[in-house]
Amino acid sequence: METITLTIDGRTITAAPGQSILEVAEANGIRIPTLCHLEGLSDVGACRLCIVEVAGQLVPSCTTQAVDGADIKTQTDTIKVHRRMILELLFAEGNHVCSFCASSGGCELQDLACELEMHSVTVPYSYPRNRIDATHPWFLIDRDRCVLCGRCVRTCAEVEGAHTWGFAERGSSARVITDLAADWGEAESCTSCGKCVEVCPTGAIVLKGASNAEMRKDSDLVARLTERRDHE
């Protein structure tokens, strides 16, 4: 089998051609923080938290191919500063108030804030006021807690095949929608499979009525489902 050789954080590593930098790093036990990436889904490079340095350039490791001879750094001071700023901007853009959130304790955004040592948010909060959509019989979406990672959109399209979730508008008005942006409960294409709940990294899409202790997500679900498909 053809292999390539590259360096990550000074370690010499062999990999298969076509793998992303993130895949190679994970296969070798090198931790790179991610948010929009989810095993089993396509990668889109939306959140930019997985940035690494390649030849002095910051690139998202999930959508950048590992190439032969590359010298990759995953933990420089520059990277840390940028990752923390990206995280601060995500927090400032929504209303991520952990003490009021059912996902607290099981939230990937919260975990990242701890991991990246984000002690405070240094940019002004935008305090959005989106209406909570609780029209679906079992699930609800609080868009003020959405980080626009698009995991729900990709899971719905790539795994469930329903294409119910999508993105609407742009810039600071961008948001996830169901069908033609009407209420979720009215979305005819939704199969109510609940996979969007499991993959949502924050408390944006949750089970109705779930308490903090109950709202624990199974984000590995998609990896398990797609793995079985590959073996068909």
Question: Toward other proteins, which CB reaches closer, 19 or 189?
Answer: 189
Q: How far apart are alpha carbons 231 and 218 in whole angstroms?
A: 22
Binders of other proteins among residues 169 to 228 (CB under 8 A) are 169-170, 177-182, 189
Is the sign of the CA dihedral 45, 165, 142, 216 positive or negative?
negative
Q: Do residues 63 and 43 touch, judged by C-beta distance below 8 A? A: yes
Q: How many CB atoms lie within 10 A of CB 232?
A: 4
Site size with other proteins, rule: CB under 8 A: 17
Question: Toward other proteins, which CB reaches closer, 180 or 223?
Answer: 180
Question: Toward other proteins, which CB reaches closer, 18 or 161?
Answer: 161
Question: Toward other proteins, which CB reaches closer, 7 or 192?
Answer: 192
User: Quick one: which of 31, 131, 163, 216 contacts other proteins (CB under 8 A)?
Assistant: 163
Question: Toward other proteins, which CB reaches closer, 44 or 121?
Answer: 44
Residue 130 amino acid letter? N
Binders of other proteins among residues 26 to 65 (CB under 8 A) are none
Tell me how far, at minimum, the Cβ of 147 lies from other proteins, in Å.
Answer: 18
Question: Toward other proteins, which CB reaches closer, 189 or 226?
Answer: 189
Tell me how far, at minimum, the Cβ of 9 lies from other proteins, in Å.
Answer: 39
Q: Which of 38-74 are b and which e, b meaning 16 or more Cβ less than 10 Å from the residue's Cβ?
A: bebbebbbbbbbbbbbbeeeebbbbbbebeeebebbb
Tell me how far, at minimum, the Cβ of 165 lies from other proteins, in Å.
Answer: 6
Which of these ranges, 67-75, 85-93, 117-125, 160-168, lies near other proteins under the rule CB under 8 A? 160-168
Cα-based angle 73, 78, 80 (whole degrees, multiple of 5): 85
**Residue 99 CB contacts under 8 Å (≥ 6 apart), including other chains:** none
> Is 132 one of the binding residues for other proteins (CB under 8 A)?
no
Decide: helix, strand or coil at residue 58.
strand
Cα-based angle 182, 127, 99 (whole degrees, multiple of 5): 95
User: Quick one: which of 128, 166, 185, 194 contacts other proteins (CB under 8 A)?
Assistant: 166
> Is 157 one of the binding residues for other proteins (CB under 8 A)?
yes
Decide: helix, strand or coil at residue 3.
coil
Contact residues for other proteins, defined by CB under 8 A: 153, 157, 163-170, 177-182, 189
